[in-house]
Amino acid sequence: MRYFILILLLPVFAFADEHKHPSNFCQPLYKTYNAEKSSASTSDRYDVLDYKLSLDVDPDAALFNGSVRIRFNNPLNDNAIVLDVTEPVLVDSVTSAGDVLVFDQTADSLVVMLSSINRVGGEDSVTVYYHAELLPSGNGLTVQDYHRYNSEEVLKHGTVIASMSEPKDARSWWPCKDVPSDKATATISITAPDSMTAVSNGALLSDTDNGDGTHTAVWRTENPIATYLVSVAVSRYVHFESMCIDNVEQQIELHNWVFPPDSTRAVTDFAPLCEMIGYMESFCGQYPFADEKYGHAEFLSLITGAMEHQTVTSYGMFLLQGDNRFDTIVLHELAHQWFGNLVTPQEWADIWLNEGFATYSQALWEEHLNGHEAYINFMTDNLFVSDYWANQCAVYDPHPIFPGRVIYDKGAWILHMLRCRIGDELFFELLGRWLSESNRPYHNASTNDFVVLASNVANQNLLPFFRPYLEETVVPQIRWSYSVGADQRTLTLNIEEAGTVLFDNIFPIRVSMPTGQTFVYAHLTGFSGTYEFELPDQIVDVEFDPEKSVLWAPAGFESLNVAITNVWPNPSFNGVISFMYRLNADSQVVYKFYDARGRLLQEVDLGEVTVSATEIEYLWDGRDNQGRPLTSGIYWAVMEVENERSVRKFSIVR
């Protein structure tokens, strides 16, 4: 999904047969995704084969006309199909093979009655003609003013038209079957002013001057694509390109489209891209869209974030700093081309298969560049905050679909724990097979598919390990102690889980002796266990899980009732910062902001805030009590709720 710069950014993946182990250990996960869906989303009676989407955009009027030809397979010979469509889209007409069809647009659905003359079962098609407004912000197809963010630069058509559809907003700018499970090939045709470049997925087939001040760019992806990954980006771009020769000597065209003032910085920031592709290929297999391209199109929908649109990531303008400080964001979105775009979640319940895997790829990149210690630091310092995991939604089937950082960071931690548990050889074999075997490549997969494959690769039942970390909102609370026998070589270890949820974990224990160090392992499958180990030398010291191989908290740990859970962007480049926080009851909330000398700069009383099942957002403008913008520096935010307080450090760069 979209990648936001959150608190982790402090200056912001030739394989064995899948049935090597023939026994399948796991039963399907017992939870089922039951989020609200349209009638199109709940029907698998027809299968979309191809979209032909045409848009004629007018940035000055903030309007566009569109049409989409949908070719589909209708195996049950139904006399109607249901498409997803919402405001601001207004359908004008629907045709099929020259026939005008009857349709009904209601709420979030478009019911189309198929022609009895042309409908003979099997393959069929309809073309929907419609018009809509370009939205001023948010998800959907938006038109935004570049000058809002950079008033010193003058651009002809100083606007940016861009799409942001994840999770379910493709339907807000084109009628489609808006579910991740029905991928199809697509042609995207964009007519725009001739001063603007029109970018989309796949390969550019043609770009035609229409002789009336407009041009039409036609893009085509022969690789199946999910609707949320279809992209439109139109602006006055500077385009630069290069050729990447990857690990198997295939040629990958790299294309980047950025706003003119950012072009120099972008060349620097995107310079490591080919190296990143080579690294990802080392354990993920070949880049899956080499016959098309990879690159970026700068946009404003997420000015401090990015979105992994297939073959052309949309990249927020404030990420382009010209110093590679956001390389892990470039890597994260690249990783999605495998984790999410090649293998797409079956349902939104499985979204951690996108975000957890891409976030973990960032940790692997840190390890590749700077060694194992940097990897451990990334996991423990950037992604691990004990109190954050309590009282949060689950990783599997989260509500809402993007609940803060849980699917990203806890999802990455599940992979980290799995790697520590089964070892590097099996872990990277698992990732390779996940992306190459069965019918997953260019199609869909579920959480249960991953649990089954992991169990088969490891030759052990991993469902007891996965289930609580995926489906519970707590982590194990551990109490441990040890004793050393009279011979000084016998270690007795006692472990107790103080919580109410049963986890299945293997805890590493480092034992120091005069002759060196060694690890012993305790497999806790119940709420308590006693383990005895014979060591080759006298025991000097014992450390429990010294490198944080398992996600756990000390017994007696209690999550803060109130907490600032996320700060983004961090650093902030325009002073505006989002503070995400949680409450346990309706409360009076006060924010105080301090500089590095401890001086109170601003105090904001939010009044009585209503408790929410999800995180609450407070947007701060980065000004002091006199309304003056704060200068570059390090600052502290203190949230006070009755007798409790939560503190977070953040920075501003001007």
Q: Which domains does the chain have, with CATH numbers?
A: 43-236 (2.60.40.1730), 477-550 (2.60.40.1840), 563-652 (2.60.40.4070)
pLDDT level of residue 153 (50, 70, 90 thresholds): low
Structure tokens of 564?
């600032």
The C-alpha atoms of residue 563 and residue 392 are separated, in whole angstroms, by: 12
Cα–Cα distance measured from residue 321 to residue 569, given in angstroms and rounded to the nearest whole number:
14
Is 169 a residue whose pLDDT tops 50?
Answer: yes
4 CB-near residues (< 8 Å, 6+ apart): 302, 304, 305, 568, 569
SS3 392: coil
pLDDT tens for 391-445 read 457 899 987 788 777 899 899 999 999 999 999 999 999 999 999 999 999 999 9
Peptide bond into 546 cis (omega under 30): no
CB 401 within 8 A of CB 345: no
> Which region among 35-39, 156-160, 161-165, 167-171 has the lowest average model confidence (pLDDT)?
35-39
* DSSP state for residue 475 in the 8-state scheme: -
Beta strand 553-554 with 477-484 is: parallel
Average pLDDT over residues 108-127: 84
Query: 499-540, pLDDT tens digit by residue?
Result: 889 999 999 999 999 999 999 999 999 999 999 999 999 999
pLDDT at 635: 87
- Judged by average pLDDT, the poorest of 43-52, 118-127, 214-223, 442-451 is 118-127
* Pairing between β-strand 197-200 and β-strand 232-235 as defined by DSSP bridges: antiparallel
CA distance 233 to 254: 17
The model's confidence at residue 48, banded by pLDDT at 50, 70 and 90, is very high
Q: How far apart are CA 322 and CA 383, in angstroms?
A: 25
Per residue in 254-283, pLDDT (tens digit) is: 999 999 999 999 999 999 999 999 999 999
Q: Of how many residues is the chain composed?
A: 654
pLDDT at residue 32 above 50? no
Pairing of strands 553-554, 238-245: unpaired
pLDDT digits over 51-64, tens only?
999 999 999 999 99
Q: Is 101 left (phi over 0), alpha (psi -120 to 50) or beta?
A: beta
- As a whole-number percent, the residues of the chain with pLDDT over 70 amount to 88
> What percentage of the chain has pLDDT greater than the value 90?
67
- pLDDT greater than 70 at residue 14: no
Name the one residue in this structure whose structure tokens are 């700060």: 567
Element (H, E) at 306: strand 305-307
Q: Which two tokens stand for residue 450?
A: 């991953």
Q: Summarize the confidence of residues 19-28 as an average pLDDT.
A: 33
- Specify the pLDDT at position 124: 93
Residue 58 φ/ψ, nearest 5 degrees = -120, 95
Distance CA 275, CA 272 (A): 5
* DSSP assignment letter at 514: T
The rounded distance, in Å, linking the Cα atoms of 383 and 356 is 11
Residue 95: is its pLDDT beyond 80?
yes
Task: Give the Å distances, CA to CA, from 341 to 225, 345, 357, 362.
Answer: 7, 9, 12, 17
Return mean pLDDT, the chain: 88
How many Å is the Cα radius of gyration of the chain?
26
pLDDT, greater one: 120 or 175: 175
In this prediction, residue 628 carries a pLDDT of 86
Residue 557's CB is within 10 A of a number of other CB atoms, namely 15
Q: How far apart are CA 484 and CA 486, in angstroms?
A: 7
Tokens of 469: 């970390």
Res. 158 pLDDT band, cuts 50 70 90: confident
* Average pLDDT over every residue of 76-91: 94
**216-238 residue pLDDT tens:** 999 999 999 999 999 999 999 99
**Which of 148-157, 421-430, 639-648 is most confident?**
421-430
pLDDT at site 7 = 30
Tens-place pLDDT, residues 541-590:
999 999 999 999 888 755 556 778 778 888 887 778 889 888 878 889 99
CA distance 533 to 539: 11
152-157, Cβ contacts within 8 angstroms, sequence gap of 24 or more: 153/259, 153/260, 153/261, 155/236, 155/259, 155/260, 156/195, 156/236, 157/59, 157/60, 157/193, 157/195, 157/196, 157/235, 157/236
